[in-house]
Amino acid sequence: MIFNTFGMLVRASIAASALSTAANLALAQAAPQVKFATSAGDFVVELYPDKAPKTVENFLQYVKDKHYDGTIFHRVIGNFMIQGGGFDASYQQKPTRAPVVHEGRLAYEKGLRNVVGTLAMARTSDPQSATAQFFINVADNRRLDPVAIPPGDPVPRFEFQGEVYTNTPRADLLNSNRLFGYTVFGKVVSGMDVVNAIKSTPTGPGGPFGVDVPKTPILINSANLVK
């Protein structure tokens, strides 16, 4: 009886281990990776469709369309982020598709944050304006994260940037442009030394931009799906 029970436990343990391995394999397969070959070296980013599905789909379509090939990192701030994916080496802005829906809150709820090494969508002051441009955080930029809205409608008390709001309609907070943050959808998994080299490059004016443009252009030669 003891032997049979032990055997059943062993078989159950093996089965559980197999299920865990299968789950981990499925998770790994669900995280595509894109290799950026740049004039400063190569780096690879891993994407999270389980956390920001529409954003990842949008980004991968630009990769498949070769949109990023021949673009530059046009905005580099060493203690903040590096931004690219929108302009070619002549500072001509590349055409894009319609903006992708903002998924910052969804990604935030699933654990993604604007911390060192993470990949996020660039946009204008309109949260629903992100198209192809992206940035890589080279500092912990938690101020770029979406702001969590407390429960209730109206929300009894809400504090933001030193201001206190009381009995505010929930829709007003959910639709406030200041509270959307930026959608994180991936992270650098290899070549962070290249990203750090890019962030340290001297900058100045360039093309239509008055500041923060690398004096020696940092070109994205190619961006390809590798996993």
Taking only the tens place, the pLDDT of each residue in 106-162 is 999 999 999 999 999 999 999 999 999 999 999 999 999 999 999 999 999 999 888
Beta carbons within 10 angstroms of residue 71's beta carbon:
25
pLDDT, tens digit, for every residue of 148-172? 999 999 999 999 888 898 999 999 9
Q: Check if CATH label 2.40.50.100 holds for domain 29-146+181-225.
A: no
Retrieve residue 86's tokens: 């929108």
CA angle 79, 84, 90 (to 5 degrees): 120
Q: Where are the alpha helices (H) located in the chain, listed in sequence order? A: 2-29, 53-64, 104-109, 170-174, 192-199
Average pLDDT, the chain: 90
Given a cut of 50, the residues of the chain with pLDDT beneath it are 1-3, 5-6, 8-10, 21-28
pTM of the model: 0.86
Contacts of 60 (CB under 8 A, 6+ apart): 32, 34, 47, 225
